[in-house]
Structure 1
Amino acid sequence: MRVLIVGAGGREHAIAWKISQNEKVEKIFIAPGNAGAELLPKVENVNLSNNIDEYVKFAKENNIDLTFVGSEELLVAGIVDEFHKNGLKIFGPNKQAAILEGSKAYSKDFMKKYGIKTAVYEIFDNAEKAKEFLNNWKDFPVVVKASGLAAGKGVIIAQNLDEAIKAIDDIMIDEKFGNAGSQVVIEEFLDGVEASILSFTDSKIIVPLLSAKDHKKIGENETGLNTGGMGVISPNPYVTDEVFESFKNDIMNPTLKGIKAEGMDFEGVIFFGLMITEKGVYLLEYNMRLGDPETQAVLPLLENDLLELVEYSFDKKLSELNVIWKPLHACCVVGAAKGYPETYRKGDIITGIENASDNELVFIAGAKFENGKFKTNGGRVLNAVAFGETLDEAKKNAYKLLDKIKFDGMYFRKDIGRIK
């Protein structure tokens, strides 16, 4: 098999690492590329632009048997539809289904339509009307979201009216998140603990993977600006059997009902972003691809071959697959460049990656490989992933791995996996 992975981050490195373990795989291409390819056999970077036609052309000319899409922009733009038109096999949602991530406004209306448990909300495409609505809002904090794709950063929790009005100005007037802010969703703030549940679907069934807990804020104790994720643990200790049953009954099953009713037919991933509260389990959002950095913690715990899940999805036989997990905990800590998530440094030499032991993993996110050396080239530079029979052991091992790795200005949170 020849496989093309679309994306560039730590998630794509983790996907390539997992797929490369399949003996049938002869070659893996990553486009537009990830420096982690230097650490893997059979893997090669391909510098393709964000043009879908270019990906189609490459897949045809290089006899690609399967394309696995990691990043969200091209899914929302319709890469799956174009591959299907050209008779190419691709794993991911088509444009119709990808809008569940591409538009928070659409996804909230989908949740309401199919009785999926979610926060009370209103949608606005006019800044003045949004502010007028907020002037009558009594229960702060309130959540203001850019409706479109904003790299995981378009959600603002406003503690008071002034912050909420500023959020509207930032998103809709100043276009801080570009076109993603042409519509906003204003919704009630849910107090609780977040959980991520990645899942595979063949549109006949949804098969949930192991739960995870992301840490999104830049600062310890969940303070400061939102990021793409500063670390993650799996499984999530807050996802008890009772919580999981609530998720299945109130969120997963009605989502499947909605997918069928809307005529969505695809093979791919649904990521459920949940909030576990005293009032129950609520759905915050859908992502229609594997999460980052959740993938980096969840995939190494999967005993099954990843391509097995993909092939069962294409055959519409996911219901027949027994998904097996290693009896371990995983902890992933992100090493970020100084200044992230705002202006950050690039070009610092990274050392110590080669010191990872056999039971430790380093997934490259924002780095390049130049003159035989890894150098920083992004905000979230790398993911240090380690395991343990307990969560505490996994956390200890992840930080021990991170101690081996150095680059100037490296920042990481010291509380990843801390449980209240």
Structure 2
Amino acid sequence: MKVLVVGGGGREHALCWALSASPVLTRLFCAPGNAGIAAVAECVPIGAEEVPALVDFATREGVGLVVAGPEAPLTLGLADACAAAGIRCFGPTAAAARLEGSKAFMKEVAEAAGVPTARWARFDDPAAARAHLRAAGAPIVVKADGLAAGKGVVVAQTVAEAEDAVAEMMERRVHGAAGATVVIEECLEGPEVSFFALCDGEVALPLAAAQDHKRVGEGDTGPNTGGMGAYSPPPMVTEALREEVMARIVRPVLAEMARRGAPFRGVLFAGLMLTAAGPRLLEFNVRFGDPECQALMVRLRSDLLTAMLAACDGELADFDLRWSEAHSLVVVLAARGYPGAYAKGGVIRGLERAQAVPGVQVFHAGTARRADGALVANGGRVLGVTATGATLREAREAAYRAVDAIEWPEGFCRRDIGARAV
């Protein structure tokens, strides 16, 4: 089967890497891809949000499965357009993708399904939002309703900080139209984890969990980013907790979406806060996380392509997902200045030495090749140095040995990924 992966980041490199090992695969494309993905897939110069062009390409090439990496093409209707062309798409329809595309919609679905989540309110008027903040007090959470590339959430420690977030999102529109509406939530306390489930519209199977490190600075300081590192499995996600999450959160939402006529197929990513009263839903994403996907793919032992096809075809009831007992950890190397302004074009050396570290796989997130063949940085998050080990400590040590083998003066990373768990 021919497969087209949509996207060009570290998540998509990990997906291509896993799919390339499938005995079912005959040819693998990635649009637009990156310099690392080019080693395992044929990169196609089509943007991830160019839905008509993507479907036209898939039709011409006889692609049997389109795999959506990021959320934007799904909210733009990639799965719907593929269905109209008679092509399977691993990912939800635009109607079901609203679980990520609108935080207010997600909260409404969660309430209808009886899912435990934080108290919340939606605002289209900044004055009303400020009045609510003053009445509620801090700490409090302000979220842009729409897609903001993982940067539209502010956990405000003071009312003044929360009011600044409202001004940034609703008045100065730092996230564009995504911040025209905001969701304001109570601030929950506890460890945060990423929980993934494979869904076929009716049946959901738990995937492995991970813990992301969202803030740019060590000790979880500084602004939120798309993710500076992750590890899997988190020790706090026990078998009992996994079943509780499936029973109280994932399956009720799957049933509610089906009741609404928008059955969810693909990966449902639940961001959870493990409070003293039990797990609470923070958000849903409708795709694999980044960098969580990298940590998951190196642990997956089932054939990824077969699993995706089972989700597309409504055949998960009898599917068995197998995982390695190994631990995994990914350290993101980012360009200095990220998540703010950063420079591109810095030459990266030493990847061969990094990949020579036992258990290490380096995934490319934002790289390109110059005409002279040199590998250069071409994004904010640039590399995901991923390692496996018999213990999390072993995986962590291997990942940082590989990081230290890479020469890129313009880059930086957090040095505390997985430190608390170890």
The gaps in structure 2 that reach 5 residues or longer are none
Task: Write the distance in 2 (CA, Å) between the matches of 1:265 and 1:134.
Answer: 35
Task: Supply the distance in 2 between the matched residues of 1:311 and 1:244 (Cα, whole angstroms).
Answer: 24
The residue that corresponds to 1:278 in the other structure is: 276
1:216-257 CA deviation, whole Å, 9 max, x = no partner? 000011000100000000001121233223312321221122
Which segment is superposed worse, 371-380 or 247-256? Answer: 247-256
- Aligned twin of 1:30: 30
Question: Is 1:147 matched with 2:145?
Answer: yes
Alpha-carbon distance in structure 1 between the residues aligned to 2:388 and 2:406: 17
The equivalences for 1:259-274 within 5 A come to 259-274=257-272
After TM superposition, list the pairs within 5 Å mapping 1:193-342 onto structure 2: 193-342=191-340
Which stretches of structure 1, 4 residues or longer, exceed 6 Å deviation after superposition? none
Q: 2: distance between equivalents of 1:141 and 1:299?
A: 36
Q: Is the 8 A contact 2:202 2:255 kept in 1?
A: no
Aligned with 2:36: secondary structure? helix
When residues 250 and 267 of structure 1 are mapped into structure 2, their CA distance, relative to the original with a 3 A threshold, is closer
Instruction: Provide, for residues 44-80 of structure 1, a one-character-per-residue CA deviation record: whole Å limited to 9, x for no partner.
Output: 1111133211111111111111110001111001111
Using a 3 Å threshold, how does the CA distance of structure 1 residues 123 and 266 change in structure 2: closer, same or farther? Answer: closer
User: Aligned residue for 2:413?
Assistant: 412
Query: TM-score normalised to the size of structure 2?
Result: 0.96
**Distance (Å, rounded) in 2 between the aligned partners of 1:218 and 1:154:** 14
Match of 2:404 in 1: 403
In structure 2, what residue type is equivalent to 1:30?
C
Contact 1:347–1:375, Cα closer than 8 Å, also in 2: yes
Distance in 2 between residues matched to 1:294 and 1:114, nearest whole Å = 26
Partner of 1:11: 11
- How far does residue 345 in structure 1 lie from its aligned partner after superposition? 1.7
User: In structure 2, the residue corresponding to 1:319 is in which secondary structure?
Assistant: coil
Q: Which moved more, 1:403-412 or 1:295-304?
A: 403-412
Q: How does 1:173-184 map to 2 (within 5 A)?
A: 173-184=171-182
* Count of residues in correspondence between the two structures: 417
Task: Indicate how the Cα distance of structure 1 residues 266 and 242 shifts in structure 2: closer, same or farther if over 3 A, else same.
Answer: closer
Q: TM-score normalized by structure 1?
A: 0.97
Contact 1:246–1:280 under 8 Å retained in 2? no
What's the secondary structure of 2:412's corresponding residue? coil
Q: Distance in 2 between matches of 1:135 and 1:199?
A: 38
CA distance in 2, matches of 1:239, 1:215: 16
Contact 1:301 1:330 in 2 (8 A): yes
Query: Matches of 1:277 and 1:38 in 2, distance apart?
Result: 42
Shift of 1:196: 0.4
Question: Which whole-Å CA distance do the structure 1 matches of 2:65 and 2:119 have between them?
Answer: 40
Distance in 2, Cα, partners of 1:360 & 1:171: 39
Conserved in 2, the CA contact under 8 Å of 1:70 and 1:290? yes
Distance 2:250 2:89 in 1: 24
State the 1:308 CA deviation.
Answer: 1.3
Contact (CA 8 Å) 1:198, 1:209: kept in 2 or not?
Answer: yes
**Deviation of the 1:266 alpha carbon:** 4.6
- Could you list the per-position Cα deviations for residues 256-282 of structure 1 after superposition, in whole angstroms to 9, with x for gaps in the alignment? 221221122353111111010112110
Separation in structure 2 between the aligned mates of residue 94 and residue 327 of structure 1, nearest angstrom: 34
Percent identical pairs in the alignment equals 42
**Residue 382 of structure 1 aligns with which residue?**
383
Give the letter aligned to residue 226 of structure 2: G
SS of residue in 1 equivalent to 2:400 = helix
Give the aligned partner of residue 188 of structure 1: 186
Query: In the alignment, residue 256 of structure 1 is paired with which amino acid?
Result: L
Q: Distance in 2 between matches of 1:172 and 1:261?
A: 33
Structure 2 residue aligned with 1:55: 54
Q: Is the 8 A contact 1:12 1:34 kept in 2?
A: no
Q: Which moved more, 1:28-37 or 1:372-381?
A: 28-37
Distance 1:74 1:38 in 2: 21
**1:18 is aligned with what amino acid?**
A
1:279-301 superposed Cα distances (whole Å, 9 cap, x missing partner) = 21101000001110000000110
Counterpart amino acid of residue 411 in structure 2 = M
Gaps of 5+ in 1: none
Shift of 1:92: 0.6
Query: 1:114-170, CA deviations, whole angstroms, 9 ceiling, x for partnerless residues?
Result: 1001000000111111111112113x2000000000000000011111111111000
Amino acid at match of 1:189: C
Q: Distance in 2 between matches of 1:83 and 1:241?
A: 36
How far did 1:304 drift? 0.4
**Structure 1 CA distance, aligned partners of 2:240 and 2:161?**
36
Determine helix, strand or coil for the equivalent of 1:286. Answer: strand
Q: Distance in 1 between matches of 2:35 and 2:28?
A: 14
CA distance in 2, matches of 1:295, 1:314: 19
For each residue in 1:152-209, what CA deviation from the matched residue of structure 2 results, as whole angstroms up to 9, or x when unmatched? Answer: 0000011111111111000000001111101100000001101101221001111111
Secondary structure of the structure 1 residue equivalent to 2:362 = strand
Single out whichever of 78-87 and 209-218 deviates more from structure 2.
Answer: 78-87
Amino acid at match of 2:295: A
Q: What is the CA distance between 1:323 and its match in structure 2?
A: 0.9
